[in-house]
Each structure stands twice: as C-alpha cells, then as structure tokens.
Amino acid sequence: MIAAMDFPPVAARGLVKGFGALRVLAGLDLDVLPGTCVAIVGPNGAGKTTLLRLLAGIARPTRGSVRLFGEDCGRNGATAPVRARIGMVAHEPMIYRDLTVRENLELFAALYPARDAAAASRVERAIDGFGLGMVAERPARTLSRGYLQRLALGRATLHDPELLLLDEPLTGLDATSRDRAIEQLGQHRTRGTQILVSHDPADLSALATSIFALQRGKLEQIADRRVDETAARQMLRALGAAT
C-alpha cells in the first residue's frame, strides 16, 4: 500500500465526464490535502455527485486523471487496497435492509480492516457515536429516515477511512443527531480528509475548511477558510444553489 504521507489523498487533473452529448465535467482540477474538509457546492445538475463517484474510484472519467493516495484510478478505477482507505455517504444509505443495525456494522467491519481498533470495538464505537443504541437490534428496513442516515454515517466511518466522501451527510437528522454527527465528523478530520457536497449553509459552516463552486464543469474556490452560516447562505444564493 502507498503510504498516505507520500502523496495527497486526492489529485485530479483535466477531468472530463460526459453522458452522450452532455458534458458534465469539463477539464476539472482538484487537489485535496490531509486534514481538510473541502466542500463542493453548485446548482442541481452541476455534476457534484458525478464528481464524488469519480473521486471514489467507482466511475471512470471520459478523459483526465484521478490519483488517490498516489495511485492512478482514472482508467481502471480504484484497486481494493485504495477502496479500503475510502468511506462514502451517498444519497442511498448503502446498507442491507433485512439485517439489523448491528449486523450491518459487523458485516462492514469484517469487510474493511481499520487502522486502529478491532472489529467489535469499532462497531460499538459507531453505535455509541451516532446514537444507534436504541435501534441496534432492529432490522434496517424498520428505521426512520434519520436513523438510516445515522447508520450510513456509522458504516462509512467504521473503518476510520483516510478519505471520507460525504454527499448531503446530515440530511434527515434532528438537531441532536446532527450535533452528534458533526462532532464525529470533526474527530475524523483530525485523522483523515473529507470532501463534502451540501446545499445546506449550516453544514458548510459546521464542517467545511474551504469551499469550491462547481459551475460549467469546472471548480472555482470561493472560500479558503471556514465561513459562518450567513456567509455560506450568501454564497449558495449567488450560485443559485440555496435550499
């Protein structure tokens, strides 16, 4: 495995992604450094989720390169060792609905080795950290939208990934659950790197260390530091991306 300290977690160059005649990404460049949370904002249809899929190594660019931890993942996708260093919260929770919360976490713990803790302790840490104790023995199909999102966050962070990709990660959470998730994600960032897609100015204010706008297939940095919620809302309105 390539040592994380030798290469940036993400280095994308000239990314182009098209779907038939539609070009979603048009020569996009992005570098993401360790210990940061880079937010990607833009209107619906701008290509934010497509970009996350490319950066996860699960989709292929039409042209350009994606290097994850120094490994070229553009042409053939990410190898298993690289995928094991990535966690992702997508629009769909990516869980097994007939398994219980605990069984879902145990399954993912067995699939992905962690950097620090044994599988059993990682499962308990996820249950405690995201407030899943009351539903740990319930099948996932019986959970509310908020609990499903908590489970998705627990699954994505279970193996302490070096790169965490977050697509609207706080959607559906009540205030208490949201605060817990922000705390857990903040703790992760001290050990890893995050890329966040969100339309919520509160999410951007709480999580992002820099913000990029995705427009016309390219990225432009619009904030190089943390911003408050008011400033984040103004940025989103200017882009036509406010909720």
Under the banding of pLDDT at 50, 70 and 90, the label for residue 4 is very low
**What is the largest distance, in Å, between two alpha-carbon atoms of the chain?**
49
Class of domain 34-47+83-239: alpha beta
Q: Please report the pLDDT score of residue 14 as a whole number.
A: 95
Could you report the per-residue pLDDT of 115-140, keeping only the tens digit for each?
555 778 899 999 999 999 999 999 99
Task: Give kind and range of the element (H or E) at residue 148.
Answer: helix 145-157
Tokens of 16: 């182009």
pLDDT band at 217 (very low <50, low <70, confident <90, very high): very high
User: Domain ranges in the chain?
Assistant: 34-47+83-239
Statement: residue 242 has pLDDT above 80: no
Checking DSSP bridges between strand 10-19 and strand 63-68, what pairing results, if any? Answer: antiparallel
pLDDT at residue 113, rounded to an integer: 66
Q: How confident is the model at residue 2 (pLDDT cuts 50, 70, 90)?
A: very low
pLDDT in tens, 59-116: 899 999 999 999 998 777 888 899 999 999 998 889 999 999 999 999 999 888 665 5
The answer, yes or no, to whether residue 158 has pLDDT greater than 70, is yes
Encode 203-223 in three state secondary structure.
HHHHHCCEEEEEECCEEEEEE
Q: Tell me, what DSSP letter sits at residue 241?
A: -
Report the Cα 200 to chain-centroid distance in Å: 15
Q: Which carries the bigger pLDDT value, residue 136 or residue 43?
A: 136
Of 53, 93, 39, 41, which is closest to residue 243 (Cα–Cα)? Answer: 41
Per-residue pLDDT, averaged over 47-55, amounts to 93
C-alpha 134/C-alpha 220 separation (Å) is: 43
Look at the block and give the residue holding tokens 């620090």. 116
Q: Structure pTM?
A: 0.91
